[in-house]
Chain A
Amino acid sequence: MTTLTTAPLAHATHAAAEPLVELRDVCFGYGGEPTLAGVDLTVNRGEFLGLIGPNGSGKSTLLNIILGLLRPTSGNVRLFGQDAARFSERWRIGYVPQRLSTFDAQFPATVTEVVGMGRFARLGPFRRPGPTDRAAVERALEWADMTAFRERRIGRLSVGQQQRAFIARALASESELLILDEPTAAVDAATQEEFYHLLERLNREVGLTIILVEHDLAMVAAHVAAIALLNRRIVFHGTPQEYAARDFLHGIYSEQTTCAVHPEIPHVHAAHEGVTAGVTHTHPPHHIRHTHGVDGQPTRQEQ
């Protein structure tokens, strides 16, 4: 079993890529327009992927399918090489939920108690946490730099600290894949940077595979190794640099779209028919729609 201390499973040393998440032609929807229309996506061990999609792109649905909370209407989902429907070791996937949607700030639990929950599924029914579990909780608290806050009530911490506590919970379960759902919504820029830095370290030093779900490309471009743009299907999957280059070329040839991604300066400018818009909550990104509309194919194949 992978532990945090022995875990530098450097992905670079893997001769053959080991897929942790494989989605093949995944569709979801009941009548009308489907939420997901043929998603193909593979995430290998050691990757740090930004999964980007505006609201309504099917992001949450896809996330819930990977987490096993929803079943796709059609298509194939494999987790850790096993059929998702039969995959029982769900604790191998650590989940950091969108904070505001799930937990109650009045909840009377300490940080240690919350982090300890990371051990529960792994323990299985009828078993109580023992020394091994407490040691894993300790290590997780240290990694997330939360040891000093361990006895504090979770709801009385800052949002940034709460996020670190949730990361620690995922670490305590010694997950191999960490999925974060818009973790930095409602935190300030400095806290956000700090948080991404922690994720980068976990990816590099612990070898944790990370899927960071965000609605805004600009927020993650400087931190992740790869991005996948979702708009009911994966319309782009590659490095942020490739994305910038692709859109640059696209802009030259079509003279309709100009787009630049500067990984150091996380900003995306998309000018399309006189409209300038970043990838935001309210506006579906023009370049995604545009690309999608031109050939209806995932852009990865277009390159």
Chain B
Amino acid sequence: MPIIELFSYEFMQRAYVAGIAVAIVCPLIGVFLVLRRLSLLADGLGHVTFAGLAAGFLFGIYPLFAALIAAIIGAVGIERIRTRGRIAGDAAIAMFYTAGLAVGVVLVSRAGGFNVNVLGYLFGSIAAVALPDLFTVLALAAIVVALIAVFYKELLFLTFDEASARAAGLPAGGVNILLSALAAVTTVAAMRIVGLLLVSSLMVLPALTAIRLASSFRQTLGLAVAAALIAVLVGLTASFYLDTAPGGTIVLVALALFGLASLWEGRRAQA
């Protein structure tokens, strides 16, 4: 089938639009997470979000809404435990990660088990992006992009050198919670396309790719978005033709881009 016909399918149109929004927003958050050594936060949040989603199914709440609430609670919770310092950051994430999965599995089993609907959230499903979902994804993405733009300088300074940023009087605590909350919102926005279990890779891989290549921070953000856009567009299209799961296909493309960037950087370093 020629590629132009792909766009005649309404579900593909919706998938592409949602995919583009996700490809813009995930790496923007991802760059900050990776540089703050919080790459696993997105993974942890994905699992906590699963608990919310399951609760949504069980109690008949709009799943994306239930997921959003759970994700934000998880984000703030992880951040608080992390900064209190009694539990190390990675342990705090691990705790929420497994707790989210456990609660999710229990609730899902009560709600009728792992059906196609649940799997669609876990692994992503382009055919399932209904119109209300699309609007929700676009709204969430717009909120995240706007807040990153507004707090760009605080996020940058705190990410680069937290001690100096605190000493200069920047509101570190508030900005850290904001970053976690934005990661939570992003997780929910992206889960329809790449799936909860793979959300983190769309944040982390393009960021890692860009960090290898860029010479400035602004360029890092730009390159990360570019890498994610390529991954999502190529991945979605390929998944349609190859009849593969879109989430996994997208992540494999992102991984390939990272591999190429590493090769290129290695050659440049030798030269």
A173 at the interface (CB under 8 A from B): yes
Q: How far is the CA of A97 from the CA of B163 in the complex (A)?
A: 8
B167 at the interface (CB under 8 A from A): yes
Q: Are A123 and B153 in contact (CB-based, < 8 A)?
A: yes
B164 at the interface (CB under 8 A from A): yes
Q: Mark A144-182, 1 if CB is under 8 A from B, else 0.
A: 000000011100000000000000010001000000000
Q: Which residues does chain A contribute within 8 Å of B110, judged by CB atoms?
A: none
B7 at the interface (CB under 8 A from A): no
B35 at the interface (CB under 8 A from A): yes
Q: Which residues does chain B contribute within 8 Å of A69, judged by CB atoms?
A: 163, 166-167
A73 at the interface (CB under 8 A from B): no
Q: Are A106 and B216 in contact (CB-based, < 8 A)?
A: no
Q: Are B170 and A120 in contact (CB-based, < 8 A)?
A: yes
Task: Say which residue of A104, A114, A169 sits within 8 Å of B35 (CB atoms).
Answer: A104
Q: Are A120 and B154 in contact (CB-based, < 8 A)?
A: yes
B window 139-170: CB within 8 A of A: 150-151, 153-154, 156-157, 160-170
Q: Which residues does chain B contribute within 8 Å of A112, judged by CB atoms?
A: 216
Which of A12-20, A87-95, A210-218, A239-247 contacts its partner? A87-95
B211 at the interface (CB under 8 A from A): yes
Q: Are A103 and B161 in contact (CB-based, < 8 A)?
A: yes
Q: Mark B223-258, 1 if CB is under 8 A from A, else 0.
A: 000000000000000000000000000000000000
Q: A109-B216, A109-B217 are in contact. Are A91 and B35 (CB under 8 A)?
A: no
A window 61-92: CB within 8 A of B: 67-69, 88-91
B83 at the interface (CB under 8 A from A): no
B210 at the interface (CB under 8 A from A): yes
Which of A40-48, A125-133, A188-196 contacts its partner? A125-133
Q: Which residues does chain A contribute within 8 Å of B154, judged by CB atoms?
A: 120, 125
Q: Mark B20-51, 1 if CB is under 8 A from A, else 0.
A: 00000000000000010000000000000000
Q: Which residues does chain B contribute within 8 Å of A97, judged by CB atoms?
A: 161, 163-164
Q: How far is the CA of A152 from the CA of B215 in the complex (A)?
A: 7
Q: Are B168 and A90 in contact (CB-based, < 8 A)?
A: yes
Closest chain-B Cβ to A260's Cβ sits at a distance in Å of: 37
Category for how many chain B residues contact A: 20 to 34
Q: Which residues does chain A contribute within 8 Å of B168, judged by CB atoms?
A: 90-91, 95, 118, 120-121, 173
Q: Are A113 and B35 in contact (CB-based, < 8 A)?
A: no
A window 202-256: CB within 8 A of B: none
Tell me the nearest residue of chain A to B153, going by C-beta: A120
Q: How far is the CA of A113 from the CA of B164 in the complex (A)?
A: 15
Category for how many chain A residues contact B: 35 or more
A110 at the interface (CB under 8 A from B): yes
Tell me the nearest residue of chain A to B220, going by C-beta: A108
Q: Are A128 and B169 in contact (CB-based, < 8 A)?
A: no
Residue from B162, B163, B168, B171 whose CB has the most chain A CB atoms within 10 Å: B168
Tell me the nearest residue of chain B to A106, going by C-beta: B211
A198 at the interface (CB under 8 A from B): no
Tell me the nearest residue of chain A to B35, going by C-beta: A107
A102 at the interface (CB under 8 A from B): yes
Q: Which residues does chain B contribute within 8 Å of A126, judged by CB atoms?
A: 150
Q: Which residues does chain B contribute within 8 Å of A151, judged by CB atoms?
A: 215-216
Task: Say which residue of B166, B169, B210, B215 sits within 8 Å of A110 (CB atoms).
Answer: B215
Task: Say which residue of A88, A113, A114, A129 sits within 8 Å of B169 (CB atoms).
Answer: A88
Q: A88-B169, A120-B154 are in contact. Are A153 and B215 (CB under 8 A)?
A: yes
Closest chain-B Cβ to A111's Cβ sits at a distance in Å of: 10
Closest chain-B Cβ to A133's Cβ sits at a distance in Å of: 10
Q: Which residues does chain B contribute within 8 Å of A114, judged by CB atoms?
A: 160
Q: Are B164 and A102 in contact (CB-based, < 8 A)?
A: yes
Cβ contacts A to B, 28 pairs, < 8 Å:
A69-B167, A88-B169, A90-B167, A90-B168, A90-B169, A93-B167, A95-B163, A102-B161, A102-B163, A104-B160, A107-B217, A108-B35, A108-B214, A108-B215, A108-B217, A109-B216, A110-B217, A113-B216, A113-B217, A117-B157, A117-B160, A117-B165, A118-B168, A120-B153, A120-B157, A121-B168, A125-B154, A128-B153
A residues near B (Cβ < 8 Å) are 67-69, 88-91, 93, 95, 97, 101-104, 106-110, 112-114, 117-118, 120-121, 123, 125-126, 128-129, 151-153, 169, 173
Known: A90-B168, A120-B157, A173-B168. 13 other contacts (CB 8 A): A89-B169, A91-B168, A102-B164, A103-B161, A104-B160, A107-B35, A108-B210, A108-B214, A113-B156, A117-B157, A117-B161, A120-B154, A169-B164
Please provide the 8 A-B residue pairs with the shortest distance between their CB atoms, ordered closest to farther: A90-B169, A121-B168, A67-B167, A108-B220, A109-B217, A120-B153, A110-B216, A95-B167
